[in-house]
């Protein structure tokens, strides 16, 4: 594959945070790439490192140690200082945030918050910026954009505010859009509208999208490819159909089975035993998911497992997927799985 085809190429990205004087990686040698017009979903539960990955790409961590390569178009981002990074973020690379209720400055008019990013990335005169801001509000489906431009954030509903956040993100026609849980805080009908909007804008701009979410339904609908993260690593990455039709890694399969769905009616949902270990208490040598599937024999796991391509474009970490079976056939009593949970928690 030619380099020029890739919009973003991340190699061995490692983001470490300081805990009691010691740095521990929350994002641990993560590699992936995004092509123009492609939606890559990054899925995982809290603590998996998916948001930390997005923040690292944007250079938004203030107190983290970041190593590895982030090649964005023709620039190596990890080598850029804040000044040069400020030319890129908000411009060719922009981000949509999770919580629209807190993502906007409460003391600034909507108009100012949009024109600020237009001005920073070299847009036109003041008048032009203002009329373009109104145009953007209209573009993201806000009724009566002239009035909303003059409003303050508290005067808008959550769905409207999220549209404003999106308007800010797309203001400079970014080549890469990073969406960090863009609909988690919204009602389902609003979620559907916002997802539609992102899809539409992406088509329009031909941008690549990094979609970070924990909602597998959203992933299935939006993504072209999916990367599943667990404990700071990508454990499986595959095209969307392949991932949902033929999930391999025990974590991916457990996640899919813990969702309530039509087929699960009247039965117990699958429970992943234990908890994600905290950063400073994590065993980083073996398969990180091993403690949560204790019924799979130790011999099934690899030491220092790497991502391995098992079929076209489908990568899985560790060999344990071959011996993995779900553990929800036995109707274990609640106390049993809770005891397991405490067991791990206690060790942590």
Within 92-151, which residues bind another protein (CB under 8 A)? 94-95, 97-99, 102-108, 116-117, 120-121
Q: Which CB sits closer to another protein, 138 or 308?
A: 138
197, 261, 268 from 265: Cα distances, Å = 32, 7, 8
Footprint of another protein on 26-55 (CB under 8 A): 45-46
Nearest distance, CB of residue 187 and another protein, angstroms: 4
Q: Specify which residues 70 forms β-bridges with.
A: 10
Number of residues that bind another protein (CB under 8 A): 79
Nearest distance, CB of residue 98 and another protein, angstroms: 8
Of the candidates 265, 297, 312, 329, which one interacts with another protein according to CB under 8 A?
Answer: 265
Q: Is 326 in the site for another protein (CB under 8 A)?
A: no
Query: Applying CB under 8 A, which part among 17-25, 67-75, 128-136, 332-340 lies near another protein?
Result: 332-340
Nearest distance, CB of residue 238 and another protein, angstroms: 12
Of the candidates 22, 76, 269, 308, which one interacts with another protein according to CB under 8 A?
Answer: 269
3-state secondary structure string across the chain:
CCHHHCCEEEEEEEEEEEECCEEEEEEEEEEEEECCCCEEEEECCCCCCHHHHHHHHHCCCCCEEEEEEEEECCEEHHHCCHHHHHHHECCCEEEECCCCCCCCCCCCCHHHHHHHHHHHCCCCCHHHHHHHHHHHHHHCCCCCHHHHHCCCHHHCCHHHHHHHHHHHHHCCCCCEEEEECCCCCCCHHHHHHHHHHHHHHHHHHCCEEEEEECCHHHHHHHCCEEEEEECCEEEEEEEHHHHHHCCCCHHHHHHHHHCCCHHHCCCCCCCCCCCCCCHHHCCCCCCCCHHHCCCCCHHHCCCCCCEEEEECCEEEECHHHHHCCCCCCCCCCHHHHHHHHHHHHHHC
Nearest distance, CB of residue 74 and another protein, angstroms: 18
Q: Is 63 in the site for another protein (CB under 8 A)?
A: no
Q: Which CB sits closer to another protein, 241 or 308?
A: 241
Q: Is 69 in the site for another protein (CB under 8 A)?
A: no
Footprint of another protein on 153-182 (CB under 8 A): 154, 158, 165, 168
Q: Is 209 in the site for another protein (CB under 8 A)?
A: no
Instruction: Find out whether 70 and 53 touch, Cβ atoms under 8 Å.
Output: no
Q: Which CB sits closer to another protein, 29 or 214?
A: 214
Nearest distance, CB of residue 283 and another protein, angstroms: 18
Binding letters toward another protein, positions 214-233, x by CB under 8 A? xxxxxxxx------------
Q: Which CB sits closer to another protein, 29 or 152?
A: 152
Of the candidates 12, 65, 124, 259, which one interacts with another protein according to CB under 8 A?
Answer: 259
Q: Which CB sits closer to another protein, 276 or 318?
A: 276
């Amino acid at each position: 594959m030619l380099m020029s085809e890739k919009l973003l190429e991340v190699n061995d990205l490692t983001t470490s945070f300081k805990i009691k004087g010691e740095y521990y990686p929350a994002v641990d040698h993560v590699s992936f790439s995004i092509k123009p017009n492609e939606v890559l979903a990054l899925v995982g539960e809290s603590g998996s490192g998916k948001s930390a990955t997005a923040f690292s790409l944007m250079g938004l961590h203030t107190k983290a140690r970041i190593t590895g390569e982030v090649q964005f178009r023709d620039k190596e981002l990890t080598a850029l200082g804040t000044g040069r990074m400020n030319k890129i973020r908000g411009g060719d690379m922009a981000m949509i945030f999770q919580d629209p209720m807190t993502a906007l400055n409460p003391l600034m008019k909507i108009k100012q918050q949009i024109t600020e990013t237009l001005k920073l990335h070299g847009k036109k005169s003041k008048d032009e910026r203002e009329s373009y801001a109104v145009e953007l509000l209209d573009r993201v489906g806000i009724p009566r954009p002239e009035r909303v431009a003059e409003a303050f954030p508290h005067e808008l509903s959550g769905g409207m505010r999220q549209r404003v956040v999106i308007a800010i993100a797309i203001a400079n026609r970014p080549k890469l859009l990073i969406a960090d849980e863009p609909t988690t805080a919204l009602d389902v009908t609003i979620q559907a509208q916002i997802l539609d909007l992102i899809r539409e804008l992406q088509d329009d701009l031909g941008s690549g999208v990094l979609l970070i979410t924990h909602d597998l339904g959203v992933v299935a609908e939006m993504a072209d490819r999916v990367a599943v993260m667990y404990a700071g690593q990508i454990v499986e990455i595959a095209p969307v159909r392949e991932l949902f039709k033929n999930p391999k890694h025990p974590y991916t399969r457990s996640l899919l089975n813990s969702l309530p769905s039509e087929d699960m009616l009247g039965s117990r949902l699958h429970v992943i035993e234990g908890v994600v270990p905290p950063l400073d208490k994590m065993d980083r040598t073996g398969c990180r998911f091993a403690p949560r599937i204790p019924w799979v024999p130790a011999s099934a796991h690899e030491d220092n497992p790497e991502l391995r391509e098992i079929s076209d474009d489908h990568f899985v970490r560790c060999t344990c997927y071959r011996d993995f079976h779900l553990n929800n056939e036995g109707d274990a009593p609640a106390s049993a799985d809770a005891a397991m949970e405490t067991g791990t928690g206690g060790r942590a």
